[in-house]
Structure 1
């Protein structure tokens, strides 16, 4: 299933490049970079483009990827394509950086996943650890505040 949006997490060591967004729908929240899939782009093509546009970092592939789905209040299924890239330690990318989308900054993984952190989208702490620890493709369904997880062999 193809959804409209991507979110990409760039991991370097024990930290991830996060964006504090200036625009709705998640204004003021720290999240990965990403955005809308354009035209006939695949989710991977859109994610690679969005990372380049928002950070200036050119990626060739992702360590892990997947889809997070949820049921909306009207009963339909919505979702987002999620990606994790591992960035070489030699890349010098000093932050914070002010961009047209918001502020980019490296955040420690422990800070992102801390249960007291209210500045992260609610689903991220549920699926991000699996993206970090298990290379490949993942299928997540968010339901009643938790993730139902399936490792998948393909994107179908």
Structure 2
């Protein structure tokens, strides 16, 4: 089991993104998320993190997966990724300053634009898959590329 989650909350054609104020990936736009607490499943930890970091209470995910990579020591590491579909009538004003950074709704086109250097490294590679299909996925990051499979 991995230690962390990253969660993307989608509403219409936008995703709620966090520009982090702290390491890791300080100054980079990413989903919200964090450490899974003792006794939590990844699914429960992800829902809790979204609520803690945004105040938005969600019930279920739309799509999820894991992103794995090999550490410099040759060990397998990874993170659980989630895509949630927020109610289209949700009113959530941004930008919003939080203890983690700045939350803001960003268009999917902006997030995935090939010249956007402000997005976390692997997001542009695995987010399109999460957006296209419901289901569970495994993404493997190797040599700068992300490979996926459905499970």
TM-score range, shorter chain: over 0.9
Question: What residue number does 2:110 align with?
Answer: 111
Question: CA offsets, 1:85-131, max 9 Å, x none?
Answer: 01111011110000111100000111111111111111001100111
1:13 is aligned to 2:50:
no
For structure 1, the residue ranges without an aligned partner over 5 or more in a row are: none
- Is 1:82 the equivalent of 2:81? yes
Tell me if 1:120 matches 2:122.
no
Give the TM-score normalised by structure 1. Answer: 0.95
- Find the aligned partners of 1:78 and 1:95 in 2 and give their Cα distance: 33
Unpaired runs of 5+ residues, structure 2, are none
The count of corresponding residues between Structure 1 and Structure 2 is 151
Deviations 1:51-107 (A, max 9, x none): 000000001100001100011111111100000001111011110000111100000
Deviations 1:13-49 (A, max 9, x none): 1110000111111111100000000101100010000
Q: Structure 2 matches for 1:15-94, cutoff 5 A?
A: 15-94=14-93
Aligned to 2:99: 100
The residue number in structure 2 matching 1:146 is 145
Moved over 2 A (4+): none
* DSSP 3-state at the match of 2:136: strand
